[in-house]
Structure 1
Amino acid sequence: MKIKIILLVFASIWLGLLVRVFILSVESNHIYSKLSLKNTIRLEHIAPVRGEIVDIKNRAVAINKLGFKIQLAPHLTSRKSSHNLDEEIDKLCALLPSLDKKKIKKRYAKKESYYNHNFIDVVHFIAYEEIMPVYSTLNLRENVKIIPAPKRHYPYKNIAAHMIGYVSRANKKDIDGDALLELLGNTGKTGIEKYYNKYLQGTAGKRQIKVNANNEEIKQLMYESADEDKKLTLSLDMELQTYIAELFGDRVGAVIVMDVNGSVLSAGSFPNYDLNIFVSGMSHAMYNKLSSSLDHPFTNKLINGLYPPGSTIKPMLGLLYISTDLSSKWTVECKSSLPLGGRIFRCWKKQGHEHTDITKAIRESCDDYFYKGSLILGNQKMSMGLKRYGLSKKTGIDLPNEFIGVVPSKEWKREKYNRSWNIGETVNMSIGQGDFLVTPLQIAQQTALMATGKLPTPHIAKKIGDEVIKHELQDVLTKEELKNLPKIQNAMYHVCNRAKGTATNYLHSKVKIAGKTGTAQVIAIKQDIEKRKLERELSYYNRSHAWFTTYGPYKNPQYVVMAMIEHGGHGGHAAGSIISDIYNKLLELGYIKK
């Protein structure tokens, strides 16, 4: 019996061994075959060349500058290596004196690993002109690889910087969201470069090669080219853009020129910065200087600057007034002030505007008319109407991280501050003050709505490849509002062309335009102050923001031209000349026909 048990144990062990041998030799064959294949066949990805960006007249806005990157072989710090890392770096620096030995060693050490068998990037970019004299010498060194590596370049430097955006090194978060960035190294960080990054960067190619035990290439088995060089055409005109930047000078603010269908011909946020410094890298001192500036050069004021709209809101509110609870014939007696709730709400004109209808209220920017109208209409109807027009939401422009602003309401205040609404806030809202905040682009969009009765979606890209991008116009006005719109348009014409119009004396445009000025207070005026200081008497950062938004030609609206100057004071005085010169330039360039 014992012998039988012993034999059975031996039989079980041998059976187990036979089964294990079968699994290893037959069943697992395909697994080890794959592992073997990986040891002999290597797949390489080919980085695509980023597509170029051009303006409406095919001028290059973002291109790729020809250059190379330098790689060093792995394991040069190993004792078994016949070559020394310092020796290789010294040779590189001797041939290319602009290189930094410390940076090269640091980059090499970061990627050096026993398990890494790929060459290591030590120089991300070196210009074609610099490397060509020593190219053949470096190419003979077995531990050095020189690979074509284009670098993004912006020929216009700081012009339209916030619209175009820039490309720079991808961080871990970027790479986690897009594996291709591990290969490319760079990605769009702001502006059009970021919004259309997926399209511009293309897709990688593939190359399958057979290698020996020393990881040396024996044969190319497969090649698939990268999908690259994708072209993006913008609606921007860089000649006009450059002209406007010179006009604006050292002022702080924003300018936009947009056709009434939403196509942006020019857009500037000031001050701006040279895009190329982000591609090449900048010093800590330069970054600190720019980032700490009170004028915020890194902020795209067109979509991220939030400002009280001031009187630019009056045409929109006026249309709401005369299309809902008030008639177009409704008038007020402006006596320059409105006592309410223990406060006095003053009109900007100390003597008052006397008998005022909707046309006069917009032409001369009578605050009292809008104060009293708001008390009849109420906050809810005002906020709902303005939101329907497109405020307090994104315009939809093809730029990342657009802000929505604030149209204040009872519900908004309760949710944000857990406090109740008071009647004085309704009155403040009627002249674009208080918690009311908009972006300059929203005001430009609203001006297009007043010009045509259609709400456009602003856009900067005109064509992706050869395909024209189409955008629909939205119908947001009621039948009653459409019927009353000519009344508002006529009042906006008066602003720019009639006696006592708030912009009339500041214009020299060859195009007949309509518009609205605005002066948005930065600091509140105390109740006990009877005589206001003139804007020029205030310290710079206490002066009001100056708005002037227009469309033209008046009888056949084609373009919206809007300027907002931070701490500029009165809108017409601060921006009238700039607006006039822009319309004259549009004539000169043939965008507007006489």
Structure 2
Amino acid sequence: MTQPAIFFEEVNERQGVFHRRAILLGAFAGLGIGALGARLAYLQLLETQRYEKLATSNQFNFKLAPAPRGVIVDRNGAILAANRPNFRLMVARDKDVDPEATLKTLANYVPLDDARQRRLLRDINSAPKRAPVSVMEDMSWEQFSAISVRSPELPGVTADMGEVRVYPHGGAFAHVIGYVAKVNKEDIDKTPNPEPIMLHPGFRIGKQGVEKALDLQLRGRPGAKKVEVDANGREVRHDEAGDIPPVPGEEVQLTLDVDIQNRALEVFGEESGGAVMMDCRTGDILCMTSAPSFDANRFVRGLTGAEYRALAGYERKPLLDKCLSGLYPPGSTFKTMTALAILAAGISPEERVGCGGGMQFGGRFFHCHKRGGHGSQNLHEAIKNSCDTYFYAMSLRVGPDRIAQAARAFGLGQTFDIGIPGQKKGTVPDQAWKKRYFSKNKAMQPWWPGENLSYAIGQGYLQVNCLQLAVMTARLANADYKALNPRLIKSVGGKEWPRGSDVPDLPFPREHVDRVRAGMAAVTDQSQGGTAWRTSQLGLGDILMAGKTGTAQVRNYDKGGSRGKGGTWSLRDHGLFVAFAPLDAPRYALAVIVQHGMGGSTAAAPRAREIMRTALLKDPELVSRIQKPLPMPEIEPDLELDTVPDTPVMAPQNTPTPTAGPAPPRRDGGPT
């Protein structure tokens, strides 16, 4: 029987396969372990700092904190805008927070009406998650305490202390300084790369005036608070040692004077208008007041819709800056420019024009403000008496282009780099301007001779603002005959801004400017009987003021109508007055516009006098001049005594001698 054959594979061959597979698997495992070890070494040795920061960020967060906003001061260091602490209430949206229910609960402790709750609810729902939204500023201590003790029951609610902008002088500087307010969507959209701090509920942005123009310098650099958070990102505690301190904003110093500014707003009372005062030597603006004004502190806290509508709808426009944005006909104050144009045309200042109460031209009678007329007038007398007829007649010989040239040389129709926005250029017309203005109406493009008459007395197409009138007056009064520029911002962060006196000379002969100055001096001179001498006397000794009155019509009176104060306010004439003082060495130039104030001599000049007095009485040199002792009276020498006696000589006593009869009656009519 045949035995089955059993064949076995080679043992060494099987072992070789096993070894190869083991080595291959071992190599793969070694590579994996090596890569893992290398990765661990890389992470633990080379990336230590990075992952330490990531691990710390899971435990700690940095909350941005706005920097203290830079203060704004006047020329003497008085605070115009600063910061103060305030208690504020904030609500953040989170998964465990019902904003609507939270607001209703908070309404039990702070005043939140239904309309405000609906508005806040929209803000909270549109804000990023856990981003706090300001619910209330300036809480009282009682309100703050009531919220704080209930904070465990109010998830998402935070009551803490922040800073709020404060304006100590209320409305006196509101138009110049402006105000700050919360950042809105439009502010973020306007900014190319908005900073994260702009989303902070305590951050405020400048909205007007200096606050807006120098917002970046005033902001400073934000800091951060280091806080420990839980797994849900909620704050557990504050780690003060890890805080990053903010850098405060820069200090801004203005050229304004707080006393003059406050006095200017005070003298306007309920009237509407503007006043601008400049230093005739440097161009510094000492006062720029627009009346009526508004309290900027109310805008910081936030106005209700009804409050804003009340301000915006008031006919005297408290929100309008009447110094920069308000445009008015300059009236007879513009005759100073027409006078310069007359002199520049080569017309003798002694040439006379007869004034019989007006002038007939082109089938129309142009009235002078004095119905009976001024009689024969030369240039000096025409400025002193503000004779319209003289300037009517001379304007036909001068033409509009020369008048416009003089006006522009003295700052009218221009904007100035004073550091804040809002200026309106106004209109100083000439023949070329009229062609451009009526480009679509060829029939209206020629400059008609009759338009010269209105132009010469500051009416017609002419429109200026109060700042321009102040610049015009300061250039007229400047002792060096410089084309002064106004300066409002004195320094930012301790660095002084350019002075307004670093400018070229005026393009007019000095004797021409001197003649206009002499005419303005006569306007306020009692001995010469100028148009404003009764209401412009300073009462400061030998310190006198020169000026020019103006009354600007706002409508045509050919068809009748009252020009008095009994008429509709918006249809009354404007009152204007420009002045400089002291007369012998000018230091301060001033322009005052009283909107619908009826008369420069009655409405504007008295207010200008009070503002000018405040400035003069703050000047130490002028005060010493006012307070200097009177000279000793001259004593005639006694011709009988040529030597001093050794002993005093007593004067004889005048003993009354009794007389018979009744005593003479008293002059005051009292009992004798």
Q: What TM-score comes out, normalization by structure 1 length?
A: 0.83
Cα distance in 2 for residues equivalent to 1:105 and 1:70: 16
Instruction: Mark the runs of 5 or more structure 2 residues left unpaired by the alignment.
Output: 1-34, 44-49, 626-672
C-alpha deviation, 1:187, in angstroms? 1.7
C-alpha deviation, 1:448, in angstroms? 0.3
Cα distance in 2 for residues equivalent to 1:579 and 1:98: 45
Q: How many residue pairs end up in the alignment?
A: 554
1:50 matched to 2:74: no
1:495 corresponds to which letter in structure 2? Answer: V
1:276 to 292, 297, 309: 297
CA contact (8 A) 2:92 2:124 kept: no
1:318 corresponds to which letter in structure 2? Answer: A
Counterpart for residue 367 of structure 2:
346
1:364 to 385, 405, 411: 385
Counterpart for residue 439 of structure 1:
465
1:182 matched to 2:182: no
For the structure 1 residues 73 and 512, does the alpha-carbon distance in structure 2 shift closer, same or farther, using more than 3 Å as the test? Answer: closer
2:451 corresponds to which letter in structure 1? Answer: E
Secondary structure at the residue paired with 1:373? helix
Bigger-Rg structure (1/2) = 2
C-alpha deviation, 1:454, in angstroms? 2.2
Cα distance in 2 for residues equivalent to 1:459 and 1:127: 39
Cα distance in 1 for residues equivalent to 2:164 and 2:106: 20
Give the root-mean-square deviation of aligned CA atoms.
Answer: 3.4
For the structure 1 residues 101 and 52, does the alpha-carbon distance in structure 2 shift closer, same or farther, using more than 3 Å as the test? Answer: farther
1:149 to 142, 156, 162: 162
For the structure 1 residues 105 and 328, does the alpha-carbon distance in structure 2 shift closer, same or farther, using more than 3 Å as the test? Answer: closer
1:256 matched to 2:276: yes
C-alpha deviation, 1:251, in angstroms? 1.5
For the structure 1 residues 373 and 578, does the alpha-carbon distance in structure 2 shift closer, same or farther, using more than 3 Å as the test? Answer: same
Secondary structure at the residue paired with 1:504? coil
Counterpart for residue 239 of structure 1:
259
Secondary structure at the residue paired with 1:257? strand
1:262 corresponds to which letter in structure 2? Answer: G
For the structure 1 residues 84 and 410, does the alpha-carbon distance in structure 2 shift closer, same or farther, using more than 3 Å as the test? Answer: closer
CA contact (8 A) 1:54 1:234 kept: yes
1:204 matched to 2:222: yes
1:194 matched to 2:212: yes
Q: What TM-score comes out, normalization by structure 2 length?
A: 0.74
Counterpart for residue 474 of structure 2:
448
Cα distance in 1 for residues equivalent to 2:134 and 2:387: 66
CA contact (8 A) 2:459 2:552 kept: yes
C-alpha deviation, 1:87, in angstroms? 6.5
Which shifted more, 269-278 or 514-523? 269-278
For the structure 1 residues 215 and 312, does the alpha-carbon distance in structure 2 shift closer, same or farther, using more than 3 Å as the test? Answer: same
Q: Deviations over 1:38-96 (max 9, x none)?
A: 985866533222222233343332222312444445433xxxx4x665675566455x3
CA contact (8 A) 1:367 1:431 kept: yes
Counterpart for residue 181 of structure 2:
168
1:514 matched to 2:546: yes
For the structure 1 residues 108 and 544, does the alpha-carbon distance in structure 2 shift closer, same or farther, using more than 3 Å as the test? Answer: closer
Counterpart for residue 286 of structure 1:
307
Secondary structure at the residue paired with 2:350? coil
Counterpart for residue 326 of structure 2:
305
C-alpha deviation, 1:296, in angstroms? 1.3
Q: Deviations over 1:12-31 (max 9, x none)?
A: xxxxxxxxxx9xxx9xx9xx
Secondary structure at the residue paired with 2:360? strand
Indicate the percent of aligned positions where both proteins have the same amino acid. Answer: 28
CA contact (8 A) 2:368 2:387 kept: yes
Counterpart for residue 475 of structure 1:
504
Cα distance in 2 for residues equivalent to 1:245 and 1:463: 25
CA contact (8 A) 1:93 1:101 kept: no
Instruction: Mark the runs of 5 or more structure 1 residues left unpaired by the alignment.
Output: 1-21
C-alpha deviation, 1:249, in angstroms? 1.4
Cα distance in 1 for residues equivalent to 2:463 and 2:115: 50
1:75 to 81, 87, 94: 94
Secondary structure at the residue paired with 1:424? helix
Counterpart for residue 319 of structure 1:
340
CA contact (8 A) 1:316 1:450 kept: no
Counterpart for residue 633 of structure 2:
none
C-alpha deviation, 1:363, in angstroms? 0.7
1:585 matched to 2:602: no
For the structure 1 residues 99 and 293, does the alpha-carbon distance in structure 2 shift closer, same or farther, using more than 3 Å as the test? Answer: closer
1:227 matched to 2:251: no
For the structure 1 residues 227 and 329, does the alpha-carbon distance in structure 2 shift closer, same or farther, using more than 3 Å as the test? Answer: same
For the structure 1 residues 133 and 426, does the alpha-carbon distance in structure 2 shift closer, same or farther, using more than 3 Å as the test? Answer: same
C-alpha deviation, 1:345, in angstroms? 2.2
For the structure 1 residues 486 and 384, does the alpha-carbon distance in structure 2 shift closer, same or farther, using more than 3 Å as the test? Answer: closer
Cα distance in 2 for residues equivalent to 1:435 and 1:415: 13
For the structure 1 residues 116 and 252, does the alpha-carbon distance in structure 2 shift closer, same or farther, using more than 3 Å as the test? Answer: closer
